[in-house]
Structures are given as C-alpha cells and as structure tokens.
Amino acid sequence: MTSSFDTPGRIKCGTITSACFEASLADYTGVLGLSVVESGTVSADLAASWGALASAGRRVALLCHADARPGFLRLVEASATPDYKPLRSFGWAAFEHTVADCDALFADIQTSGFTVIGAPKLVPGFDNFIPFQVVGRAGEVLYLNQVLKAGMSELDLPMTAARVDHMFIAILAAPDRTAAVAFHRDALGFVEGETWSIPYSVINNSFGLPDDTITDMTMTRTGRMPAAEIDQYPAAATPRGGPPGELPPGNAMISFITASLDSVSAPFLAPPARHAGALHAGRRSAVVRGTAGELIELIEAQ
C-alpha cells in the first residue's frame, strides 16, 4: 500500500511543533486515535536538512491511524513561543485531514486539549464535504473534513472509514497568493488549479473582519489529487516568528512525495540526503523554503 500511496505530489507528512510535547502527544493518541509508529529524538543531520540545527536532540514522534492510509503526522518538541497566535501569520496555516464521522469526532473533541474554532457546517458553494476546525494546545490548526462526495470539478477528495485519516490538503497563508502559486507550480511542479473567492469564517474571525469579507484561494494539484490551498491573507498578517534555529511554531512543515529532487528548481536548505525510518525509508530528501516562508520537505518516490 505504501508504494501505491507514495506517488509524486502526495502529502506524506505534516510536522507540528509543540512546547508541551507529552500533552500534545496524548491529544493525538487519545481523541484523534492516532498510534505512535516511531519515537526518539531528532538527529543532527535531519535537523540540518530542515535548516533548524537547534531542533537536534528534541523529542519526535511519528503518528498514523492503524486503519488509515500510510500518511503521517510528525510531532516535534520545541521551545515555547508565547507570542505565537495561530492563523495570524504567513506559512503553513492548517492541515486538512479526512475523517469518517464529523459529528462524532466533533462531540468527542470538545472535552480534549483541542479548542473548536469552527463547528461542522457546509462551506458556501460546496456540497461535497463538511469540515470543522480546531486549534491544538501548541497553536497548530487542523481542519477535520468528512467527505460526502468524492469528486469535484478538478479534484478527487478521499473518503475514509478511519476516525482520522491522512492529510490530503495543506493550507498555506500567503502574503502574495500569486507569487506563492507560481512557486509551487514552477519550482515544485504542481498544477495550478481553480481559484475560489469565499467568505472565509476562520480567517475573518481570526482577524476580526466582517463576516462577508472575501478571501481568494487557489488550489494546487497533481492530476486530480489536491496538494495545497493557497490563501491570500489579510494585510494585518505577519511573518511567522519562532525560537532561533528551530522549526516554526504550530504547523511547521509539509512533506511531499516528488518524482526526483533533480527536477526541483528551488535552492535546498541543505544538500539532499538519505534518512532511515518509516517516513523517509532511506530515500533522498531535501527541504526548500517557499515565498510565504513555508518549509517544504520533498521525499523522492523511490
């Protein structure tokens, strides 16, 4: 299953940083039902590949649902960032996971370490999924999405029987949506998909904007498989701060499968290297930084 899942353009992993590592881990293995696949500490060479040398030696756990497809969440211990506020800065804003039963998970999650910031509801203009949104205790944002109908005009959305399945879209907050889309298209090889303009309640609530404020967002994809939703963030948004030499706070990094690092036309933070373990499986990987400051780990398919 791993080989068929690991096709170019696939989101293989989302990385979250937490200053309350054990409590965050309990949230993910508790109410979300994920299991620890691997645990240990971040090696010096892996931290160097991230451009985050100060993350070396920090605790790390790789998580997956037993019934889900072989995509991962990676939780990395980090220093505290007291002034960090989710959904207020550029970079990876949220990870969107497919779930089996939105209402059941919503009921359970309200007594956990997650805070609901958007109750389950249909999005205006879309009738094939029901999402709700939560913030974790480390400031990370998850969109938990029950797919009702798999097909959209350009995209196929994954349905699942797992409580929480793999991430299938990464949400990017961009200061310049056009530039961010061009980077993902031209440097990384994704296809530029449809653009929608909607009243985006999560963003409007975060910035105290009127409910009818419109956000432009563009999807990227490989074939009919979604990759990133790139949102034009308001002028009040700021660059993502964080502890010096560490990964960014909250939603820190996305790992995509790529056909070949040789076709990537963006500078790597460190030369490509091979890493052991379930995520990399000895394959070459390297990290680039996008125009919104986002970290993108690219793992070769073979």
Contacts of 189 (CB under 8 A, 6+ apart): 8, 9, 222, 258, 259, 263, 264
Place of tokens 């039963």: 101
Contacts of 16 (CB under 8 A, 6+ apart): 24, 73, 74, 75, 76, 95, 136, 138, 140, 250, 251, 252
How many residues are given for the chain? Answer: 302
- In this structure, the strands spanning 225-232 and 164-174 are parallel
Domain that residue 251 falls in: 2-300
Q: Note whether 287 and 298 are within 8 A (CB).
A: yes
Name the nearest CA neighbour of 128 among 145, 149, 108: 149
The pTM (predicted TM-score) of the whole model is 0.95
Please give the helix or strand (H or E) that residue 105 lies within, else none: helix 102-109
How far apart CA 241 and CA 29 sit, in angstroms, is: 28
Domain with residue 293: its CATH number is: 3.10.180.10
Averaged over successive runs of 10 residues, the pLDDT of the chain (302 residues) comes to: 83 98 97 96 98 98 88 97 97 96 94 94 81 96 91 84 93 98 98 95 96 97 96 98 96 98 97 97 98 98 92
Structure tokens at 294: 């986002």
108 class by beta-carbon count within 10 Å (0-12 exposed, 13-18 middle, 19+ buried)? middle
Q: Can you give the pLDDT at residue 2?
A: 56
Tell me the residue type at 200.
Answer: Y
Structure tokens at 30: 């508790």
Please give the helix or strand (H or E) that residue 284 lies within, else none: strand 284-289
Q: Can you give the pLDDT at residue 1?
A: 47
Q: Can you give the pLDDT at residue 210?
A: 97
The total number of structural domains in the chain stands at 1
Q: Can you give the pLDDT at residue 3?
A: 63
Name the nearest CA neighbour of 253 among 14, 24, 10: 14
How far apart CA 228 and CA 221 sit, in angstroms, is: 7
- Read off φ and ψ for residue 32, nearest 5 degrees: -85, -15
- What secondary structure letter does DSSP report for 148? S
> Could you tell me if residue 157 is left (phi over 0), alpha (psi between -120 and 50 degrees) or otherwise beta?
beta
235 class by beta-carbon count within 10 Å (0-12 exposed, 13-18 middle, 19+ buried)? exposed
Structure tokens at 128: 């094939």
Show the beta-strand stretches assigned E in 52-154.
59-64, 72-77, 91-99, 115-118, 129-135, 141-147
| First and final C-alpha spacing in the chain | 14
